[in-house]
Structure 1
Amino acid sequence: MKRKSLALPAVAGLLTSALTACGGPDGSGADDGAIVLGSTDRIEASKAAPAPLDPAQAYDFASWSVLHNAFQTLMRLPRSGTEPIPDAAQKCGFQDRQSEQYRCTLRSGLKFSNGHALTSEDVKFSLDRMLRIKDRNGPVSLLSNVDRVETPTSREVVIHLRAPDATFPSKLTTPAAALLDSEVYRGNALRKGFSLVGSGPYQAKTEVRDDRLVKVRFTRNPNYQGDVKPDSDKVEMRFFDSAPAMEKALTKGDIDVVHRGFSPGQIDQLNKGEVEGVRLFESSGQGIRYLVFDTDAPVVGTKAVRQAIAHLVDRQALVRDVYKRTAEPLYSLIPNNVISHTNSFYNEYGDPDPDAARTALRNAGVSTPVKLTLTYTTDHYGPETAQEFKELRSQLNRSGLFKVKIKGVRWTEFRPNLPKREYAAYGMGWLPDFPDPDNYIAPFLTKDNFLGSPYRDNSVQDELIPRTRQESQRTRASGDFQTIQNTVADDVPYLPLWQGNTYVAARENITGAEYAFDSSTMLQLWELGRGAGS
């Protein structure tokens, strides 16, 4: 919730088949030479979420992929690496040793795509607006530590924090801190629909059908002031009904790049070079999949029940049989390629062990079989999700200790229901907002966690997380992060399942595909270009 969804697997798309074959006369991309990306993501407006491209409400991979390329932030992540660098800011830094006062000087001559000047007042407006609207489905938790914002001059901004936070510069790289035109956006209400005005490298024009986004046209923003130098003046993002339709369009040359949505079987074909003229770029991903338990609910509110499930789940079977080894088993909320990771769940529970699960339930006086419903979303993480939950159901029921049912719910209903705690146990995915172990811990374990989980551990919330945020040298916080991971493994408010790799498929004449994602898996359209002779 990134927001939050995984780079794999496929998600239900939007385009009808009539729109999937829109290539230019040379069989490459759009008629005007724009680089065309395909995705099966679904971005739609609903009664519960009427503003899918408003930074105050948008909090998922698909929406952030649009926002990141149209809006500027004070800081951004470089092409590679995890240390934030200035974006709309000329320079930024903490003004105290406690990491509580953050000061930025803006670049000179900043403008929005509509020509309006961008000043420090717009920065203050944008941060204050996020905190004022406080949308329960949005990314407000990333900025909840902001106490007040001051604007000494038109180019200076001083952000005062409630508590020390060395990760705050990283939070300013996310669309949660997108800079908005105070003459366009209202300070106390969402901007409904799909129109947007920013100051990023691209300006975006959206095409909508039946309250669903079907196409985004990105063109170079002539008013952009910053270090990013787009390799293409025009980029188009199209949304497909299915992964097979998208694969057909890529093979024909109607689209140039696929950054999201292929099934594990299609990934395998691409990896073997079976799709002519297309290259596949693979990197170790930071997206995770996990189960959430309402620790105040009947049945799963009993710790022994959650621990028994942890004893029974076979992650190896999930990644082998469902995801065809495009993912890896995960034994912590923090992925194994992020600093401070430790295999807490494996250390606590080891390999699947029905006898250990039975002992945990018996010692707690829990009668078996335990009746439980696992809920998942049918149209956000792809068709493999249903198969994954069938496998989980089978694993738990085979033990004889559980009688599990599964229930699929559409994302437009599923996501708004999470803060209301409508489901006792359900599946979710997460992509990091920024590349730091804090972003796999705080969003889940603080009082204002984005899922509305009632789980609390006073030591984690009041001592360990604040202490990790005081460490500007992030490796020094590893001991506290490991203690937190061990606490989660013991209490099991969440059960990590797997982490997925990241894949980008691109036609051979496309350059920059290997840099399409930054270190937080944020899409960087400006890296894409066409090679000589294309």
Structure 2
Amino acid sequence: MRAIRMMTVGLAVLLTTVGCAAPTGVGGDGGTARDGRSIVIAAGSEQESLNPILGYAPDGASKIFDGLVARDAGLDLVPALAQTLPTASPDGLTWTATLRDGVRFSDGTALTAQDVVFTYSSVIDPKVDSTIASSFDALESVTSPDPRTVVFGLKYPYAPFAQRLTLGVVPAKAFEGQDVNTAPFNTAPIGTGPYRVVEWRKGDRLVLEANPEYWGPAPQVTSATFVFVTDDNARAQRMAAGEFDATALPPKLAKAYEGREGYQVVQSESADYRGLGIPSDLPLTSDPAVRRAINLGINRQAMIDTVLAGAGKPAATPISPYLAEWYDPAATFTYGPDEAGRVLDAAGWVRGPDGARSKDGVRARLPVLYPGTDSLRKELALATASDIAKLGIDAPVEGTTFEVMLARQKETAAIWGGGDPYDPDTATYTLLHSRYIGQDGYVNMTHYRNATVDAALDRGRSSLDPATRKAAYDEFQEAYVADPGWAFLVFLDHTYVMRTGWSGMQEQVEPHDHGLLHGPWWNLEKWAPSPA
């Protein structure tokens, strides 16, 4: 299931007409000779901060920082800054980690347990604007009985806590007398990772070079430049012009590269979903039957065949097939527009002479928003709205920004993305538990509430018994498909276009966050130049 399929690819005439020239020295066709020691990658998004405390790279692969643990190609946890994997007490309330000896930050200062204490204590500090604080709800205290030992105290047993320890560790000394939210560190970080930041031009590029203080083997790819290009078509055009060595592209744009010597398309399976978040507070969609009808009326396989060019799998819940231990293949929605119509009729939303549905004088209407620079989400939004419109529900589509999507989350549906292949708790809890209704940010954006779902999610995260956890997530999936809060559409296969010239890439099922962090270059520090 974790195969990466590589194909020789090339470029359509449309893309070769672009007149951009590659900047000197970045490895493009217009630059200096390429030796494989540097790479230029176009990323579709840019971080607001490079501080792990504020939310940078919480799932690892940050290039700049290390967590106590990391993940190998098979997503198994392996020691990183910790000498061995952290261990839990029998009651699950205490986790202990022993630090690796001799680790230094990129400025030469030694890593100590106090740095770990500062990092995690800051994440849960209410004065710190951490975007990942909700992921550490279980954490109550962090202490260091000696310079190499860290002890985490939890409020309740939290089975996947070790998965949270991929977060990068920062040097406490760098924040002395500083406000974490505004510290210079946030744009000029100091880490223990294989690379260090030498330049960050916001809105343009991030330049990394090999960290001479790195505790692991020295990277053979000594320079990595990430250029930020949010528009999919612009990335494709600039890749065609020779500006980049690699980039993520929607599948249909990547296909335009078939036949060009010296390039390859890498297709990586992922737990990254795209879904229609359906507001639970509208007169139309406050009824679970209506939300179920919308799910039944969406042709997911058609989206995969056309929009994704076959590169994906249908989704029904945020638990992906790559969480095989937890995934319930029976938790699905079979495409059935006729059945969807009957459900809507029974719910009182009946068609009028013009085919439009209404109830008690209220017309059935559900606007669908998507981020305007994302061509894939645009196509998914149009396909989803078209299917919903066939049910008799007016579904106008609008391209906008994530900020507007959040501001209008009570009144409109929107195409969101997320998901990870690490644990069902990290994929579901903050997204669907009712405790997050009304909180800021990307948590329970639809204001979904279901007592059975809440109870199952609580039981799944707090039990240390695998059988109990399995039963809890089976119950969650059964309850959720009976009362859905979203129309999860597809799990994407991430597609990338890359020059040849490097060895050492390893296949890995990817999370939602990819391009800058995760991607074929998740283990860039282990790559080596090879003949093109």
Q: Give TM-score scaled by structure 2 length.
A: 0.82
Partner residue of 1:232 out of 221, 229, 233: 221
* 1:442 to 2:438 alignment: no
Alignment of 1:205-220 (within 5 A): 205-208=198-201, 211-212=202-203, 214-220=204-210
d(CA) in 1 for partners of 2:151, 2:430? 25
| Structure-2 change in CA distance of 1:25 and 1:299 (3 Å) | closer
Aligned position for 2:38: 35
Q: Is the 8 A contact 2:93 2:156 kept in 1?
A: yes
d(CA) in 2 for partners of 1:320, 1:182? 50
* 1:427 to 2:409 alignment: no
Q: Is the 8 A contact 1:397 1:404 kept in 2?
A: yes
Q: Is the 8 A contact 1:333 1:485 kept in 2?
A: no
SS of the residue 1:304 aligns to? helix
| Structure-2 change in CA distance of 1:104 and 1:242 (3 Å) | same
Aligned position for 1:54: 51
d(CA) in 1 for partners of 2:293, 2:509? 38
d(CA) in 2 for partners of 1:21, 1:107? 41
d(CA) in 2 for partners of 1:397, 1:491? 21
d(CA) in 2 for partners of 1:426, 1:518? 23
Q: Is the 8 A contact 1:17 1:245 kept in 2?
A: no
Q: Deviations over 1:68-115 (max 9, x none)?
A: 11011111112x123211111112432412222110111223222122
Q: Deviations over 1:410-436 (max 9, x none)?
A: 235445x37xx454421111142x622
Aligned position for 2:487: 495
d(CA) in 2 for partners of 1:253, 1:296? 49
Q: Deviations over 1:285-337 (max 9, x none)?
A: 22111121232343222222212211211112212222221222223321122
| Structure-2 change in CA distance of 1:301 and 1:529 (3 Å) | same
* 1:385 to 2:385 alignment: no
Partner residue of 1:182 out of 172, 180, 190: 172
| Structure-2 change in CA distance of 1:241 and 1:83 (3 Å) | closer
d(CA) in 1 for partners of 2:251, 2:378? 14
Aligned position for 1:138: 131
d(CA) in 2 for partners of 1:93, 1:65? 16
Partner residue of 2:91 out of 79, 98, 121: 98
Alignment of 1:42-191 (within 5 A): 42-43=45-46, 51-58=48-55, 68-78=62-72, 80-133=73-126, 138-173=131-166, 177-185=167-175, 186=178, 188-191=180-183
Aligned position for 2:211: 221
Alignment of 1:162-311 (within 5 A): 162-173=155-166, 177-185=167-175, 186=178, 188-191=180-183, 194-208=187-201, 211-212=202-203, 214-226=204-216, 229-240=218-229, 242-243=231-232, 246-247=235-236, 250=239, 254-258=243-247, 260=248, 262-270=249-257, 273-311=258-296
Q: Deviations over 1:366-405 (max 9, x none)?
A: 35241121222112xx213222212222111123x21111
| Structure-2 change in CA distance of 1:530 and 1:139 (3 Å) | same
Q: Deviations over 1:443-481 (max 9, x none)?
A: 3223248424432333433454334542364x7633321
Aligned position for 2:334: 350
d(CA) in 1 for partners of 2:493, 2:162? 26
d(CA) in 2 for partners of 1:502, 1:178? 25
| Aligned residue identity for 2:344 | L
- Structure 2 residues not aligned, in runs of 5+: 1-17, 351-356, 359-363
Q: Give TM-score scaled by structure 1 length.
A: 0.81
d(CA) in 1 for partners of 2:444, 2:461? 22
| Aligned residue identity for 2:348 | G
| Structure-2 change in CA distance of 1:464 and 1:58 (3 Å) | closer
SS of the residue 2:367 aligns to? strand
Q: Is the 8 A contact 2:52 2:169 kept in 1?
A: no
d(CA) in 2 for partners of 1:218, 1:512? 19
d(CA) in 1 for partners of 2:42, 2:20? 16
Aligned-CA RMSD value: 3.2
Cα deviation for residue 517 of structure 1 reads 7.0
Aligned position for 1:341: 327
Q: Is the 8 A contact 2:74 2:508 kept in 1?
A: no
Q: Is the 8 A contact 1:68 1:524 kept in 2?
A: no
